[in-house]
Amino acid sequence: MEKRKLTLMNKILLSYILLAILILFAVFSYTLARDLKTLNKNIDTTILSMAEILALDNRVEEMIKENYLSSESKKQLEQIIKEVAVIDLIVIANSEGIRLYHPEDSKIGGSFTGGDEKEILQGAKPYITNRKGTRAYQRRAFSSIKDENGEIIGFVMVSAYTAKIQDLRNEIVKEFVIIFALAISVGILVAYLLARSIKISLLGHEPSQFVKMYLQREELLDTLEEGIIATDQSGKCIFVNKAMKQMVTNLNVEISEASVEKFAMQYHIPAMDSLETVYNQELTIHNITFLIDSIPIIEQGKLIGTISLIRDKTEVTKLAEQLTGVKHIVDALRANTHEHVNKLHVILGMLQLGEYQMAIDYIATTQAEENQGYHSISKQIENLTIAALLLGKQNRAKELNIRMTLQKGSYLEAHNDYLSTNDLVTILGNLIENAFDAVKDKEDARDVNVFIQRNDGGLIITVDDTGIGMSKDVSQKIFIKNFSTKGNKRGIGLSLIGDIVARCDGAVEVDSEEGIGSSITISFNKKRKRF
C-alpha cells in the first residue's frame, strides 16, 4: 500500500502543534516546578515562622510554667488555625512531651506522638519534619520554648496535613493543564488559519507541486526554439531561456539576467512597462531581422511583468514556406526558368554560329518534347498547381541527371475531396525532394517514379526511388520532427507530411531496403470537411 503524503496544511498543523507542545511543555514544566517549589517554601516558611513566634510568646512561656492554658490563649490559638489556611494543627507541649494545648480537647494531657520532637528538646534549632501524627501524615515545624535562663521548658509544633498540601499542588497542576490546553487550542487555530491562508495564496497547490511545475516550466521553456525574456514590473530580467542566450551569444550581444532595460532600449524592444500587447514587431540586430511579441502580465489592473518572445524572421519565413508548400512551387518555377534559360543560350549560340536551320530544328524538337511532357502531365493531372509542381520537379531532375516519371494510370482531378492543394504540394514536394536526395549520389539507376490516383476508394500517392534505401529502424523514425540522417536543421519536410496524415486520418506505408531503394505510399479515404 502506497504511503500517503502529508499535505501542506497537515504539515504546518503538525509542525506548529509539535513546536507549541515542546515550547509550552518546557515553559510550563519550569513554571510548574517553580510554583510547586514556591508553594512548599511558603508552607514551610509559614509553619516554621508561626512555631517560632509562638515559642517566643510570653503567654506560652507562662502556660508551660503554670501547666495551665487560659481560655483567652486557647481562643487565640484556635483563631490562628482558622485564619491561616496552611496551618492545620498547633500543639504546645512541655519538656516531657505532655500536650498542654491541642485543637482537640481529648488530646490535651496526652503524650506527643511521632518521636520527631526529641531533637528540639535537646537544643536543636527550629526544624521541619515529615511524620505521621495521631491521624494523618503532616509537615511539622518545631521550635523550642525557653525560660528567662535559656533552659528548654517545652516546644511548639505547627503542622500542615500532607494531604492538604497535595490538594494545593493538584490545584496548581490543574490550572496549568487548563492553561496548557487553551494555549494548544489557540495554537492549533492559529496554525489552521495560517495554513489555510498559505494554501489560498498558493491557489490550492502544494509546494511540491509548485517545485514540479517550476522544473517542468524550466525544461519546457528551454526546449523552445523561440527566445524568451521575462521581466518584472521594474524591467528587471527574471528569466532568459537557453534559446535566447544562444541567440544573443551568436550575435555577440551582451545580455544579463540582472537587467534587460538597456538591451530593450538599444534594440527598440517594446517598452517593458507598457500595458499594451505587441505582436510581430520587427527587430533588427546586426542586419538580422527578428520578430518580437511583447505580452504584459497584468494582475488586478496592475502590471507585474512582461514576457517577450523573439524569433528569427528568416526561420519563420522558411517554416511558413514549408507549411504552405510555397517553397516547392517556387523551386519548380525556378527549375522551369533555369531550363528555359539554358535552352535560350543554346539557340543563341547556334544563331551566333550562323546555324539557322539547326536552331530551327532544335526549337521544333524542344517544343515537341515540352508539349509532349506538358500534355502528358496535364491529361493526368487536372490540378494546375500540382501539374506545375511536377513539371518543375521534372526539370530539376534533368539538372540532377535523375529520371523522374509520372507513372501511367495516375490521375488527379482539379479539386479532390480528400486533401487541399496546399497539403498536396507539401506531400508531393517533400516526397520527391526526399527521393532526389536518396538517388543523387548513386552512379547508376537514378530513377524516381511518382504515382497519384484519385478513385472511388480515396486518394493514393506513391513515390518510389532507386536510392540508397533505409534501415528498418530509420524508416520508422523518418516522420518524427527534426529526425534526419543528413545533418542539423533537417527532418522538417517529412514531419509535415506526418502531421497532415495524422490530421486527415491517412495511412503511411514505407517499404525500403538498403542499397536497393525506397517506396513510400500515403493513402486517404476520409473526405475532408468543407466550410
Q: What is the pLDDT of residues 273-294, one digit of tens each?
A: 566 777 767 666 666 677 777 7
**The domains spanning 226-313 and 325-524 adopt the same CATH topology:** no
3-state secondary structure at position 31? helix
Q: Give pLDDT tens digits for 305-315.
A: 777 777 765 65
The chain-wide mean pLDDT, for the chain, equals: 78
pLDDT-derived band at 1, boundaries 50, 70, 90 = very low
**What's the CATH fold of domain 325-524?**
Heat Shock Protein 90 (3.30.565)
Residue 58 grid cell = 510570653
Give the model's pLDDT for residue 147.
87
CATH of region 226-313: 3.30.450.20
pLDDT-derived band at 297, boundaries 50, 70, 90 = confident
**What is the enclosing helix (H) or strand (E) of 280?**
strand 278-285
pTM of the predicted protein model: 0.41
How far apart are the C-alpha atoms of 487 and 485, rounded to whole Å?
Answer: 6
How far apart are the C-alpha atoms of 525 and 509, rounded to whole Å?
Answer: 14
CATH of region 10-168: 3.30.450.20
The runs of H, that is alpha helices, within 418-504 are 421-439, 472-475, 493-503
Give the model's pLDDT for residue 366.
65
How far apart are the C-alpha atoms of 110 and 494, rounded to whole Å?
Answer: 121
Give the model's pLDDT for residue 58.
86
The percentage of residues in the chain with a pLDDT greater than 70, rounded to a whole number, is 74
Q: Is the pLDDT of residue 179 over 90?
A: no
Q: Where do the domains of the chain lie?
A: 10-168, 226-313, 325-524
The percentage of residues in the chain with a pLDDT greater than 90, rounded to a whole number, is 10
Give the model's pLDDT for residue 314.
60
Beta sheet of 517-524, edge-to-edge order: 403-406, 447-455, 458-465, 517-524, 507-513
3-state secondary structure at position 400? coil
